[in-house]
Structure 1
Amino acid sequence: MTPIIEVQQVNKAFGGLRVINDCSIQVAKGSITGMIGPNGAGKSTLFNLIAGALMPDSGRVLLEGEDITALSPDARFHKGLLRTFQIAHEFSHMSALENLMMVPPDQPGETLFTTWFKPGRVRAHDAEVRRRALEVIDFIGLYHVRNELAGNLSGGQKKLLELGRTMMTDAKVVLLDEIAAGVNRTLLGDLIGNIKRLNQEMGYTFLVIEHDMDMIAQLCDPVIVLAQGSVMMEGHIDDVQNNPEVIEAYFGGSAA
């Protein structure tokens, strides 16, 4: 399958500690690819290198064949590479709906000239953004709390809102960082369902870091296993969970 993300022989060290060690991965376009590994394997660092929060010491990151290694997170966002965070980054004093409406870039109301001299254009654009935000908040199952302050939402609802914010842009790839953390089982089912729908109905590609192995098993194929900053193996979750080296490194010597 055609790769949408390629990480090519990337290295990253902090002081004298090499965290990512000559690491190469590919994420196929249209896939939901999982990434697992023991604590300290380098998962979060590799995520940050792909998202642009960190720059590699060597190696390259490509998006649809384009070298984006030197681009800022903002520039990558404009190219359709988005990420969510383990701890939701909502605007707590704005409503859930307003949080979604904040996402689209380059809105005409952001410039003083357009606000003063082209108010009709601003109103029309705002109405379109609001219409889209209402569609998205209904899609993710939060319509009933659309006017609630985002800071008052439950942890699971905030994760759904994070996922919804990716839908307010022309996303190509979404990096999901521990999206199941702190989410109850009911809302986790909603999250999994929404991710599958975005993948199947809208063509989103996902790269998922997750400790919840049930979620990985339900969502991801293939699964990449990192250990000591390098790829240990890649394959279907059944093969991963039955690999003796993975069991030793990730499960502490036990498949339980």
Structure 2
Amino acid sequence: MARINPGLGQGFSGNQDGLLVSFDAVIDVRNVTKRFGGLTAVDNCSLQVGRGSITGLIGPNGAGKSTLFNIVAGNIVPDHGQIMFDGADVTGLAPHQLFRAGMLRTFQIAHEFSHMTALENLMMVPGDQPGEHLSNVWFRPHRARSRETEVRKKALDVIDFLKLGHVRNELAGNLSGGQKKLLELGRTMMVDAKIVLLDEVAAGVNKTLLQDLAGNIERMNRELGYTFFVIEHDMDLIGRLCDPVIVMAQGEKIAEGPMSEIRANEAIVEAYFGSPVVEA
């Protein structure tokens, strides 16, 4: 499979000497605030997701991370601030508009078409296929068949990449929780995603399949150039996959760095997590 073409989003971050250096940001959250009545869920929060990274987002319950994740994904509109995606202001755009722009999201509970096979689920993803229009079926059948063959080949490539060949003709509703998560990951590979938002990818997945899932995320990042933004409760998974890890508390970003540094920061652990083990 071809690597994703890089976009143009440019931001800046500080190095160890405090100097500003160029930083290629796919997602740039700028001073975002969201209130629900008298509750400020996200409070003037700014953060970036670098192109080619697997960036984790963690924090205690009520930290605002889920709200921020939903704002980035287009499910919630912020009261103030901007969401920049690949250099463009996408604040307030709906999820389907972000999908067309190259931002894809997987969910804690997989959203498969249960009465279609795993292969058919993947073939459903690419939009605006000629076969979707009756006029093409009637008057341009060759074009419709050619595109369907192309999509099917890509779907089979994805299934091979994820090692799901043994269930490709199985109804998606019959798959295990882990297989459904792998299938959902595969659906992100059917379009040219600039970033994939992973929402609690470990939920409902047994440890064996979770290792497969993590390995495939790493391969997609390393071999295909995918960028991931991950919200997750499983700190071992975050530690394996993510660098950097961003920590939120009380609606704000309070720390960012490798997981080893986050775990070693006693002030963060004691003040925001209440024990030596970081909990999301």
**TM-score, normalised relative to structure 1:** 0.97
Aligned to 2:12: none
Against the structure 1 CA distance between its residues 89 and 250, is the aligned structure 2 distance closer, same or farther, given a 3 Å change threshold? farther
Aligned to 1:247: 269
For 1:93, the aligned partner's letter is H
Q: Structure 1, residues 124-156: CA drift from partner, whole Å, max 9, x if none?
A: 111111111011011111110001110110000
- Say if 2:140 is the partner of 1:127: no
Distance 2:241 2:100 in 1: 26
Distance 1:97 1:163 in 2: 13
Distance 1:191 1:14 in 2: 35
Aligned to 2:140: 118
1:12-91 paired onto structure 2 within 5 Å: 12-91=34-113
Q: Structure 1, residues 132-189: CA drift from partner, whole Å, max 9, x if none?
A: 1011011111110001110110000000001000000010100000001111111111
Conserved in 1, the CA contact under 8 Å of 2:266 and 2:276?
A: no
Conserved in 1, the CA contact under 8 Å of 2:137 and 2:144?
A: yes
Secondary structure of 2:191's aligned partner: coil
Distance 1:208 1:78 in 2: 20
Unaligned runs of 5+ in 2: 1-22
- Say if 2:159 is the partner of 1:137: yes
Q: Structure 1, residues 48-77: CA drift from partner, whole Å, max 9, x if none?
A: 111111111010000121101132111111
Distance 1:27 1:254 in 2: 27
Secondary structure of 1:226's aligned partner: strand
Distance 2:113 2:267 in 1: 43
Distance 1:153 1:50 in 2: 30
Cα drift, residue 249 of structure 1: 4.4
Conserved in 1, the CA contact under 8 Å of 2:54 and 2:229?
A: yes
Secondary structure of 1:224's aligned partner: strand
Distance 1:240 1:246 in 2: 7
Distance 1:24 1:78 in 2: 25
**TM-score, normalised relative to structure 2:** 0.89
Unaligned runs of 5+ in 1: none
Cα drift, residue 250 of structure 1: 4.6
Aligned to 1:194: 216
Cα drift, residue 4 of structure 1: 1.0
Cα drift, residue 228 of structure 1: 1.1
1:226-237 paired onto structure 2 within 5 Å: 226-237=248-259
Cα drift, residue 116 of structure 1: 1.6
Cα drift, residue 244 of structure 1: 2.0
Conserved in 2, the CA contact under 8 Å of 1:3 and 1:64?
A: yes
- Say if 2:190 is the partner of 1:171: no
Indicate which of 195, 207, 210 corresponds to 2:232: 210
Distance 1:250 1:140 in 2: 37
Conserved in 2, the CA contact under 8 Å of 1:242 and 1:255?
A: no
Distance 2:157 2:174 in 1: 21
For 1:48, the aligned partner's letter is N
Distance 1:15 1:118 in 2: 54
Distance 1:121 1:60 in 2: 41
Secondary structure of 1:233's aligned partner: strand
1:156-167 paired onto structure 2 within 5 Å: 156-167=178-189
Secondary structure of 1:151's aligned partner: helix
Aligned to 2:7: none
Distance 2:113 2:259 in 1: 36
- Say if 2:121 is the partner of 1:104: no
The list of structure 1 runs, each at least 4 consecutive aligned residues, that deviate by more than 6 angstroms after superposition, is none
> How much is the aligned-residue C-alpha RMSD, in angstroms?
1.1
For 2:216, the aligned partner's letter is N
Q: Structure 1, residues 186-230: CA drift from partner, whole Å, max 9, x if none?
A: 111111111111111111100000111111111100000011111
